[in-house]
Structure 1
Amino acid sequence: MNASVPVKTPIFSREGDVWVPDAYAAGPFRGLYGGAVGGLVGAAMEEHARKEGWGVPLSSSVTILRPAPLSPLSTEISVLQAGRRNAVAECVLRDPATDKLIAKGQAIFVQPAPHTSAPLTPEPQGTHWTVDPETLPQWQNGRRPEHVNFLHILDMRDELDAKGRPTIRWSRMMRPLMPFPSLLGTLFTAADNASAFWLSASGAWPTDFGFPNVDVSVHVSRAPQGEWIGVLPDALLHQTGMGMSEGVLYDQAGVLGRTCQTNLIVPRD
């Protein structure tokens, strides 16, 4: 990371009715990084939910309709449901300069209601429940283009098995995404890397093909704990030019949830 970049400066700042991305919101190719787009949409819904007291965001999905420009963007929030235990919000992301629709997302928020006699899911033991990601080696197959982009502000680490093969890929942001805390922002910025993590683990990275995702979804069973999110990736990619990637999500407390994406397979320019 460039030491001249203020660590606590958010990637997106609010100016009036728009969100202004800085240079580090860029993707490796054209437009904003997919995780930054998903994080912005999710965080906007989460900010509204926090004001309404809706509880914890447990599910969210964002569809990316076109590349987001590195310029001011507007968000529009709609409330689809606001019940006693759960609420559903929708967010539309637009380019105000052209009024083009960039992305659309939905999120579900749930109010905790403790039940001490309810059945619990036992969590199997494993090294990822005790590992400190900060002590792990840097992601060796990370592809960080020379131009300033979102990958430069992600601290990514490899958890290795007994034979030295990568298993869970951990990541955290070295700068905040938004000028306020966002669980969904944290989740989306990690989950969006499931394809790249799987490709590098399979030995197919770097490649002459790109695997852009047109959507990304996250489902978790509780609020994540800490700044590190782990992804145990998998994928189904085909010579038809179609595929999907997915991953089990972790934090340092254990299994957190799942992520899934729809991928297009395209030759690089």
Structure 2
Amino acid sequence: MAEAFYLPLGQDRFQPTEHTSGPWTPQAQHFGPPSALLVRALEAIPSERETQLGRVTIEILGPAPLRELTVTARLERPGRSVELLSAELLAGSRAVARASAWRLSSNDTGAVAAGAAAPLPAVADCGQARWPSDWLGGYLHAMEWRTARGDLCDPGPAAVWARQRVPLVDGEKPSALQRLFTVADSANGVSNRLDPSQWWFINPELTVHILREPIGEWIGLDAATVIGPAGVGTATSTLHDEGGQVATGSQALLVRRRESAAQRP
């Protein structure tokens, strides 16, 4: 097995490896790696000044298969201080996901920075995390997980530290934001309130607001899920590096009782 989430094929084409497969089925990817691949494309769009991605939204249009993918990206709306970017992930002719991002000009606001969440317990003080026994490997095994708060096998809010065991793209060192997005889509799994053998809680989108780029390999994810009365929920998360909060994430959730695996949305 290749030691990366994706093998580059040239001309913006990538072959997913088994490391990308999600916990529900080995035929579809966990959307952490595809989200990071879209961010990689957004980061490659040239800029004439020092900038930072301030908000990225990933619209999940369908399952991401474990076959060749193509990624494209472009500048939608240029500007001196604020720019709108977009990217698309294709499996053949089918759009699997689209990303939109606001890229903002950078300046020094360190003297007035305020309002960040309290830091998570240090990585060194956290034990090995455990996932439900019937969740499949692939992505979960390609990441190292440590529990900072709660228990991933129990319902309710929880916090974890995670880092990649493998690169995003073979032969490349992942960027700070690529590491962030490889983890960010896990909030609904980390904070699930329902028995996953009885319920779906699937997110059709991921939105991350970024305060700064994380430093180091470890990404902290402090997540909570709220379930409404009409089959809709929200998973929210605070994302950290070992120095403190770096971003805030959210996912809209489709909540539905599982009748059979064949009826997955």
- Give the TM-score of the pair, scaled to structure 2: 0.83
**Could you tell me how far apart the structure 2 residues matched to 1:166 and 1:242 are?**
17
Q: 4+ runs of 1 displaced by more than 6 Å?
A: none
2:180 is equivalent to residue 187 of structure 1? yes
List runs of 5+ in structure 1 lacking aligned partners. none
Q: 1:208 Cα deviation (Å)?
A: 1.4
- Alpha-carbon displacement from aligned partner over 1:140-177 (angstroms, at most 9, x marks no partner): 3455645x51111111111148xxx9852111111111
Please name the residue that 1:15 is paired with: 9
Aligned residues: 249
- Alpha-carbon displacement from aligned partner over 1:186-234 (angstroms, at most 9, x marks no partner): 22221111111112xx5x4544112111111111111111111112111
Please name the residue that 2:62 is paired with: 66
2:87 is equivalent to residue 91 of structure 1? yes
Match of 1:217 among 184, 207, 215: 207
- Code of the residue aligned with 1:103 in structure 2: it is A
List runs of 5+ in structure 2 lacking aligned partners. 151-155
Match of 2:36 among 39, 42, 45: 39
Q: 1:54 Cα deviation (Å)?
A: 5.3
Alignment map for 1:1-269 (pairs within 5 Å): 9-17=3-11, 18-28=13-23, 29=25, 30-49=27-46, 55-96=51-92, 99-114=93-108, 119-121=112-114, 123=116, 126=119, 128=120, 131-143=121-133, 145-146=135-136, 148-160=137-149, 167-178=158-169, 179-199=172-192, 204-266=194-256, 267=258, 268-269=260-261
- Code of the residue aligned with 1:182 in structure 2: it is S
**Could you tell me how far apart the structure 1 residues matched to 2:205 and 2:115 are?**
31
Q: 1:70 Cα deviation (Å)?
A: 0.4
Q: 1:27 Cα deviation (Å)?
A: 1.2
For residue 48 of structure 1, give the secondary structure of its aligned residue in structure 2: coil
- Give the TM-score of the pair, scaled to structure 1: 0.82
**Could you tell me how far apart the structure 2 residues matched to 1:209 and 1:152 are?**
23
- Code of the residue aligned with 1:12 in structure 2: it is Y
Structure 1 residues 237 and 263, CA, compared in 2 at 3 Å: closer, same or farther? same
Q: 1:108 Cα deviation (Å)?
A: 2.2
Q: 1:120 Cα deviation (Å)?
A: 2.9
**Could you tell me how far apart the structure 2 residues matched to 1:123 and 1:54 are?**
23
Superposition RMSD in Å = 2.6
